[in-house]
Structure 1
Amino acid sequence: MTPPPGWYPDPHAPHRQRWWDGTAWTEHRSAPEAPAAPPPGGGAGRTKALVLTATGVVLVAAIVTGAVVLGGGDGDGTTTRTASTSTVEASSDAPEPTPEASTPEASTPEASADDPAVVEDQLNGVTFPLLDGWVRPRHVAQDDVVMTTDGTYDCPAGVGLCRHGMVFSRTVTANDEKSPETLAKADISEAADEAYDRDSLGRELYGGLKSHQVVRSGPVAVAGRAGYLVRWRVTTGKGPDGYVQSLVFPSSVGTESPVLVRYVFDAGEDGPPLADMDRLTKGIRPFGDADTGGGVGSSIGPTD
């Protein structure tokens, strides 16, 4: 179940390659076409390899993703915050990147050879179901994007392009904390901030995040392991409100570092069904074992 040593897309910078020693990530990073062997000399403090520079100029336009709201809030309180997430997409008149250029697509999650409706996240040892209305990311500059809703729309504030839904998957490596509950509760505020307040240029594409309400939290079985999720309903200044969810569970590969999956859904009839959050969570499987749904934590579920 553990990927062999080699170069893989960096979970925190998919446009770059990072050396996996068969057990854990090293500090070696390189371009996608780097040789299939680690750089000479060992140690965690080695100089990072330079990222391959694209051989053309691609015009880009800002894109921001939202969250999805269905029904009334059944949560346990409302808190005022501010927050927003932006992504970048090639403009319609920009040239198509050449195969040798470093592009977001070069590290896009791949379809399974056995099931094209499954997206593989080999580094975290899981697969995701590709539901109707969802596509693999194209020209998305944000890190760790697993899938997005199909198409874009003009952001409510009149600047940039937004998406109705995005799903992210990343490895938690910032600290020694391993508790899914602690990590999910700590991440949800940052997830909301990055989704609905200001983008990297300081623009409030949704008019800012005005408040949030916890509508769901609790333990949940993910890929046969005991995880934890926290879901917020957020209120924005302009356009649709939304839902943001942080889900954390132990990886089944390598050092079993926690895996963080973020969901950002726009509200309203144009956004993806809120039920897709549960369908995606239920459909996460250990890599190479698409039929596994039980195991540790298989009998637990989130509390409303």
Structure 2
Amino acid sequence: MTPPGWHPDPGHSGKGPAQERWWDGAQWTGHVRASPGAARRRWIRVGVGVTVGAVVLAAVGGGVYLLGEDDRGRPDTAASSPSAPADRPGSPDGDEKDGEGDGGNGDGPGGPLPPTEPGYATDLAAGISLPVPEGWKGTSGAVGAGLTTGQHPCPGDTEETCVRGGVFSAPAAAMKLTAATPEAAAKKDIALNAKESYGGKSYGKITSHEELKSEAVTVAGGKGYVVRWKVVTEKGDDGYVESLVFPSPASKGMLVVVRSGFDINDDAPKLSVLDEITRGIKAASGAGGGTGGAV
């Protein structure tokens, strides 16, 4: 079953900019928008070399671009750990306003907002929820979800803001990542993840890397694959990057990509936190199929 969300418009003629149409879980609706790559947006930088702007995707930077409200899509919701206040990203200018984390009770083009479970950030399209570690910020979306912590000026461009740790999810197709298996997809994605997380002007080029992990893993009840690198950067801290790919617990045939990037710094999260996040990934509430936990 294809989950509700924005998908390539099956009726698009191919002429003009690509567009997406809202699928409400049962039928195509009349709501359309420009595809993420074709739409112009304003962004704030809050990633490990990641540009993010509130929620949804565009495959870049240690994870995904998260679209803001200016795409006229379904508003996003934010989840946070029990000890931290829930924040709702504000205007497309990047201003944030305090919110109550309404649990996804508002209305959007296809109905209610993505479900917000306490302590989780939900990627509705992928059908998964990411556990939000204590002190981190979690952001849910119709397509894509993210976890971030430790904002600081980017070492290569101090006018921009980076984070010490970032974890972002999206369906593989939404990131234009094509591969037949989770292993092939993870091995294909890791170099792009590294380049976009630490290879841009925020950290300078990557001078070398070391593979730390390349192995099968079970996530949310599905057999996936994970690849982890340690990268040496030209400017600022070095980092760890990881590409994790596994089958969606909600949609047969869909692969989900979870990109992560952690600075190597005393103020950055330990790698054990990344392992805990992976073990805690589960099927989103109501998505059906699969259970939490990674082996």
Q: Is TM more than 0.5 here?
A: yes
Distance (whole Å) between structure 2 residues aligned to residue 260 and residue 137 of structure 1: 16
Per-residue Cα deviation, 1:273-294 (whole angstroms, up to 9, x for no partner): 2111111110011223699347
Tell me which residue corresponds to 1:133. 135
How far apart are 1:102 and its partner, in Å? 4.5
Q: 1:281 and 2:278 equivalent?
A: yes
Q: How does 1:11-50 map to 2 (within 5 A)?
A: 29=20, 38=28, 49-50=32-33
Give the paired residue count: 232
Distance (whole Å) between structure 1 residues aligned to residue 170 and residue 132 of structure 2: 18
Tell me which residue corresponds to 1:183. 185
Name the % identity: 32
2:33/2:71 contact within 8 Å kept:
no
Distance change in 2, residues 1:254/1:114 (3 Å): closer
Per-residue Cα deviation, 1:128-164 (whole angstroms, up to 9, x for no partner): 11111211249x9xx9652233452111123421111
Q: 1:220 and 2:243 equivalent?
A: no
2:122/2:139 contact within 8 Å kept:
no
Distance (whole Å) between structure 2 residues aligned to residue 265 and residue 172 of structure 1: 21
1:128/1:285 contact within 8 Å kept:
yes
Q: How does 1:74-93 map to 2 (within 5 A)?
A: 85-88=49-52
Q: How does 1:198-209 map to 2 (within 5 A)?
A: 198=200, 204-209=201-206
2:47 alignment partner, one of 51, 60, 65: 65
Distance change in 2, residues 1:206/1:124 (3 Å): same
2:149/2:166 contact within 8 Å kept:
no
Tell me which residue corresponds to 2:161. 161
Aligned AA for 1:149? T
Structure with greater strand percent: 2
1:212/1:234 contact within 8 Å kept:
yes
SS at structure 2 position matched to 1:116? coil
2:148/2:166 contact within 8 Å kept:
yes
1:65/1:163 contact within 8 Å kept:
yes
2:150/2:165 contact within 8 Å kept:
no
Per-residue Cα deviation, 1:97-134 (whole angstroms, up to 9, x for no partner): xx985479923566586841022222111111111121
Structure 2 unaligned residues grouped into runs of 5+: 11-17, 36-40, 55-67, 80-102, 105-114
Distance (whole Å) between structure 2 residues aligned to residue 238 and residue 250 of structure 1: 36
Distance (whole Å) between structure 2 residues aligned to residue 281 and residue 207 of structure 1: 28
SS at structure 2 position matched to 1:182? helix
Structure 1 unaligned residues grouped into runs of 5+: 11-17, 21-26, 41-47, 53-57, 67-84, 91-98, 199-203
Tell me which residue corresponds to 2:172. 172
TM-score w.r.t. length of structure 2: 0.64
- Select the structure of larger CA radius of gyration: 1
Aligned AA for 2:244? L
SS at structure 2 position matched to 1:152? strand
How far apart are 1:182 and its partner, in Å? 1.0
Higher RCO, 1 vs 2 (CA within 8 Å, ≥6 residues apart): 1
Distance (whole Å) between structure 2 residues aligned to residue 176 and residue 89 of structure 1: 25
Q: 1:107 and 2:76 equivalent?
A: yes
The CA RMSD over aligned residues, in Å, is 4.0
2:204/2:235 contact within 8 Å kept:
yes
Distance change in 2, residues 1:101/1:181 (3 Å): closer
Per-residue Cα deviation, 1:218-260 (whole angstroms, up to 9, x for no partner): 0111011111100000111121111000001111223331111
1:133/1:149 contact within 8 Å kept:
no
2:172/2:178 contact within 8 Å kept:
no
Distance (whole Å) between structure 2 residues aligned to residue 100 and residue 144 of structure 1: 13
Tell me which residue corresponds to 2:83. none
